[in-house]
Amino acid sequence: MEAMSVTFARTVDDACAALAEHPGALLLAGGTDLMVGVNRGQVRFADVVVLDRVDELRGWRREGDEIVLGAGLTYAEMGRGELPALVPALAQASRTVGSPQIRNAGTLGGNVATSSPAGDTLPVLAALDATIDLRSAQGARRLAIGEFVTGVKQNALEPGELIEAVRVPVLDGPQEFLKVGTRNAMVISVVSLALVVDRSGRNVRVGLGSVSPVPLRPADAEAHIAGCIDWDTGSAPDAAAVHRFAALVAGAARPIDDHRGTAAYRSHAVGVLARRALLRAFPGGAS
């Protein structure tokens, strides 16, 4: 048996160098996805690059109208301090993840890199039009979240590359994240929805989770509702507009039947979530 190498990176450069030196090495952040696979014998590897000691990945900063979220931010960290006021949907989504232990260990970068249809930050990042900063020994590049996630647990990450940060805008408007699971906490999403309002851009953006291989943006629903809102007064859309919005969201979903729920239920539920999220964002509207 070949020896296994474990690199405890201290900087992003360290980590990139280690990845270049050990092609095929696996990145280990919180381990809450990776170790499940290892324990089940599904993930096997010879070399590991450990990221949780890389300070550069652990914080967040504001750059103008953008928030730069380090890949190593944990769910617990995304739910405290000033972040919840700046990116409310991300904090809400973080609170729905796992248990306190998982939220203390699991990271944003790990969720994005896992690229699961049920990853709870992904609909939020989709709705926010987030971009992903990637780094390797060769350099850096930036991808839109929609370019990054390419399929069920598939993404554009190249060998030797890691996620350094996720960039999201600071928007003027309410944000909502709702997630349906068969248990009241610590549950994988059966369907989820993020809705963000951008008053200055005069649009409502929606990200759907667990209803297609990649996080989905229901473009027709977004276009429809943007046109039904009086952006000058911010008044709530009427009942018919809300109804149609929910129907368009449900219609955009491409869910499957599995052991967590049926396609029919998912389509139905995502419509309910759409309606509720919209009415929370525009209270006083039709209910």
**Binding window for ligand FAD (CB under 6 A); candidates: 77-85, 112-120, 225-233, 247-255:** 112-120
Tokens, residue 234: 């911010």
27 binds, among ligand FAD, other proteins, none (CB under 5 to 8 A by kind): ligand FAD
CB of 60: closest distance to ligand FAD in angstroms? 14
- Using the minimum distance from each CB to other proteins, give the nearer residue, 27 or 269: 269
91 binds, among other proteins, ligand FAD, none (CB under 5 to 8 A by kind): none
**Binding window for other proteins (CB under 8 A); candidates: 49-57, 67-75, 173-181, 205-213:** 173-181
Amino acid (1-letter code) at residue 23: P
- Using the minimum distance from each CB to ligand FAD, give the nearer residue, 45 or 265: 45
User: Which residue has tokens 């201290």?
Assistant: 10
User: How many other C-beta atoms can be found within 10 angstroms of the C-beta atom of residue 216?
Assistant: 25
**Residue 241 binds ligand FAD (CB under 6 A):** no
Question: What one-character-per-residue DSSP string does 206-258 give?
Answer: EEEESSSSS-B--HHHHHHHHTTS-TTTTPPPPHHHHHHHHHHHHHH-----B
**Residue 106 binds ligand FAD (CB under 6 A):** yes
CA–CA distance, 199 with 232 (Å, rounded to integer): 9
**Residue 29 binds ligand FAD (CB under 6 A):** yes
Q: Pick the closest to residue 209 from 225, 181, 189, 223 (CA basis).
A: 189
| Distant-in-sequence, close-in-space partners of 36: CB < 8 Å, separation ≥ 6 | none
Binding site for ligand FAD (CB under 6 A): 26-34, 36, 51, 71, 96-98, 102, 105-107, 109-111, 113-114, 119-120, 157, 162-163, 188
